[in-house]
Homo-oligomer: A and B are copies of this chain.
Amino acid sequence: MARIVMKFGGTSVADLDRIRNVAGRVKREVDAGHEVAVVVSAMAGATNQLVAWCQSLSALHDAREYDTVVATGEQVTSGLLAIALQDIGVEARSWQGWQIPIETDGAHGRARIDAIEGAELLRRMRELRQVAVVTGFQGLGPDHRVTTLGRGGSDTSAVALAAALKAERCDIYTDVEGVFTTDPRIVAKARKLDRIAYEEMLELASVGAKVLQTRSVELAMKEKVRVQVRSSFSDAPGTLVVDEDEIVEKEMVAGIAYSRDEAKITLRRVPDRPGVAAAVFGPLAAAGINVDMIVQNLAADGTTDITFTVGKADLPRTEATLKEIRQAIGYGEIAADRDVAKLSVVGVGMRSHAGVASTMFRTLAERGINIQVISTSEIKVSVLIGAEYTELAVRALHSAYGLDGA
């Protein structure tokens, strides 16, 4: 007998049949003797509709009213799932964020969870064998109004609830079978991982593997919540996201991720003097622009080229900011390139295995793929390449690191 949290995303509760399917899955866990709390998202499409209404009425809508409107999606699902569970003989009741409460800060539209009062839920799970059906994505702010956590927030709700209830596992049910070594739409031989370390998942999530929301992985790592990613449409075991110590056979590389969401900017002929990097990146930070990879090359004439990447959506604001400071810095010109992709190989095994980076560089060189920028962390190597080489590069690296499955 264990205590578990099960989380079902929007596609898993998209219509009444799927809600019935979810109820059946929950019943199996209850019948197996487990104490179960369920976290639900809005029915697929519902949130988009509600967001569109708010935006259509006012481009600059009040985030508190937006939260009031958008949070109804999860409320509907929670009530419907409770009804579906009762209909098959499972004790259940729905819980809204404000009823528990799930206390958040006051940042409407992107709130962070401060505390969850789980005592009453626990009592009912134990004494009444009652399943708690909890709305994901929402909470109660200090202003006594409904808050939402931002897109993908239901994953975070589930992990936070699992921590509050001291659950043994948090199962995230989604429309994929688990975490793969890379995107199966690009590499047919991609393998599902049985286990992955929190830090690896974090790096993969932040570079474009959209299985879990980054914040939920950070929270799971901090609170030591064992997370399982699995499909709500099959019975296959999923991927367990756990502490590094629980993974005995560490592969050198766990996975390969890619992202086409970044753009490259090069400032040419920047005067090579102390403080020039701060003069460039200070104003960008002040403008709220997130800079990712950075490289600087010294030229023969005593000037330097500074190359870096930003999110594509931030490109216009980045160029505008750089033009404003051109006089003060005295660079030659700005060149922007949107046709780039960032490739990352990730694995905690890198800490003990040498040669991960050199394998990457050699493999790409053999395919004639030019590396434009390189950045590394303790468990990750990322390179920027021309976007048209993305698939070719991902396939080559997947083979080179021995990740290809049957």
Is A76 in contact with chain B by the CB < 8 A criterion? yes
Question: Taking the complex as formed, is A404 at the interface, i.e. its CB lies under 8 A from any CB of chain B?
Answer: no
* Min CB–CB distance A36 → chain B (angstroms): 17
Task: Judge if A336 is at the interface, Cβ distance under 8 Å.
Answer: no
In the complex, whether A374 has a CB less than 8 A from a CB of chain B is: no
Given contacts A62-B86, A145-B99, contact A80 B54 (CB under 8 A): yes
Residue of B nearest to A77 (CB): B69
Tell me which of A90-98, A255-263, A358-366 binds B.
A90-98
Copies in the complex: 2
* Distance between A329 CB and nearest chain B CB, rounded to angstroms: 41
Residues of A8-23 at the interface with B, using a CB-CB cut-off of 8 Å, are 16, 19-20
Residue A82 interfacial (CB < 8 Å)? yes
- Verify A20–B79 contact, CB threshold 8 A: no
A371 to B56, CA, bound (A): 57
A303 at the interface (CB under 8 A from B): no
Q: In the complex, which residues 47-75 of chain A have their Cβ closer than 8 Å to any Cβ of chain B?
A: 50, 53-54, 56-58, 61-62, 64-69, 71-72, 75
Which B residue's beta carbon lies closest to that of A20?
B57
Q: Contacts A58-B83, A75-B75 known; list 8 others, CB within 8 Å.
A: A16-B56, A57-B83, A62-B83, A64-B93, A65-B79, A69-B79, A71-B75, A72-B75
**A–B pairs, 6, beta carbons within 8 Å:** A57-B80, A58-B86, A61-B87, A62-B82, A66-B79, A71-B75
Task: Return the 4 tightest CB-CB contacts between A and B, nearest first.
Answer: A69-B79, A68-B79, A72-B72, A58-B87
Residues of chain A whose beta carbon lies under 8 Å from any beta carbon of chain B: 16, 19-20, 50, 53-54, 56-58, 61-62, 64-69, 71-72, 75-76, 78-80, 82-84, 86-87, 93-94, 96, 98-99, 144-146
